[in-house]
Amino acid sequence: MPDIILEKFINNYLNINSAIITLVTIGLITIITIVAYSLERKISRSSPFYKRITVHLLEGLVLGFSMIMLEQIFFILNSGSINNGWLYANAQLTILLYCMYLIRNKITLIINILMPILYYHSMNLPRLNNKDLPLFAISYIFLIIIVSFIYYQTENLENSEWKYLIMQVLFGLSWWIILWVDHSFPTIEILIMLIVFLIYMSIIRFCAKKLQDTMLNYDDLQVQVNYDELTGIRNRANLDKTSIELYKTYYSEKAVPLTIAMFDIDHFKEFNDQYGHSTGDEVLKHVAHTMEREMFLTDTKGQLFRFGGEEFIIIFRGKKPAECVPIITDLRNTLVNTPLILNGQKLDVSISFGISKLIEEDSSFEDLFNRVDKYLYASKNSGRNRLTVEGFTYNFDDLK
């Protein structure tokens, strides 16, 4: 008997069709991972409801498309028959469970809960007279509990290999009992199919982890390319790329203003000369972090960049220079009222600003930068700790 089971296992599972379905499943998992990863980066908990639900629906559509694609490929491999359906079922269960871990939204939860009902044999009315109906109902309820638990406890499960394995076993067991009610195959095969399902999940999890690690490495590279290593804010390269896009957008949209503010640290060279370059680095970080934190807390809608050296840029979309003056004044006041304490010594830091908006005469973003830079130096030449807006210089103390 064991020899027969082993021979059947080898014939059914170790063949070319099994290899193809496995590779197709890995390919679909890769597509799902890339799409989900790209979509989830576009939203956060603070995103509008319509935006979040749109992303979640798209993720659900990708999951549904993957299930249909897997079904079509399976039927092509089997010339339209349902032979070796266990292979197709295990592949589908693998995708369903994987998406529960990857795509953490209620759309995937609903799809997992409804799948036994959407599964065509489950709609057969003769089942109502089936003596195994209670077993189906119990297994279905058990599946709902397991799926819901996985959805709400994903992070805890991922942190424990044993919990993760137990949830896989319970998920696969409840599904194969449901399938057994319809097809009445030998009960020993539930165990065999469950083992195959766990092997599938191990393969998929390994491949998915490698894919996610690759994406994280790509993110790290993106951070290195687009963010300043010292201060952690956007760098000159990111500014250059952003400015090209902004010019195309806002130059054609005459009714929507775009304002640029450039500032630098007053007497920065003295920090380096008197205290050393390490202190100068701390001053740069202090200014960048204070400004970025305050911009986030007050929701200014501005973007902060390190332009180079001790110079910084803030881009304000949809705001006129006059609207930016009180924002910049508050940012400056926060910085002045938050001195840097370094090695027990208090270091007072002030900044000078130049502000201008994109105008029709600007042939490129470079024209705007040059004008803002000129206004910044007008503030510095007027005694520093000042603000020049479209050629007019003000003392910050007079703007309180």
pTM, full prediction: 0.52
Residues making up the chain, counted from first to last: 400
Q: Where are the domains of the chain?
A: 2-226, 236-399
The Cα–Cα gap between 42 and 51 comes to: 9
53, 42 contact by CB (below 8 A): no
Residue 372's pLDDT is 93
pLDDT tens track of the chain, all 400 residues?
455 555 555 555 556 767 777 788 878 877 887 787 777 766 666 567 777 888 888 888 888 888 888 888 877 777 655 555 677 788 888 888 888 877 777 888 888 888 887 764 545 556 556 667 777 788 888 889 988 888 888 767 766 778 878 888 888 888 888 887 777 777 777 787 788 788 878 877 777 677 666 655 555 545 555 788 888 888 888 888 888 888 888 877 777 889 999 999 998 888 888 888 888 889 999 999 999 888 887 777 788 998 888 999 999 988 999 999 999 999 999 998 888 888 778 888 999 999 999 988 888 888 999 999 999 999 999 988 999 999 899 888 776 6
Report pLDDT digits (tens) over 26-46. 788 778 877 877 777 666 665
The Cα–Cα gap between 238 and 30 comes to: 29
- Taking CA atoms, 225 is separated from 42, 220, 228, in Å, by 20, 9, 8
The Cα–Cα gap between 210 and 161 comes to: 17
Considering only the top CATH level, what class is 236-399? alpha beta
295, 240 contact by CB (below 8 A): no
358, 258 contact by CB (below 8 A): yes
Report pLDDT digits (tens) over 372-393. 999 999 999 998 899 999 989 9
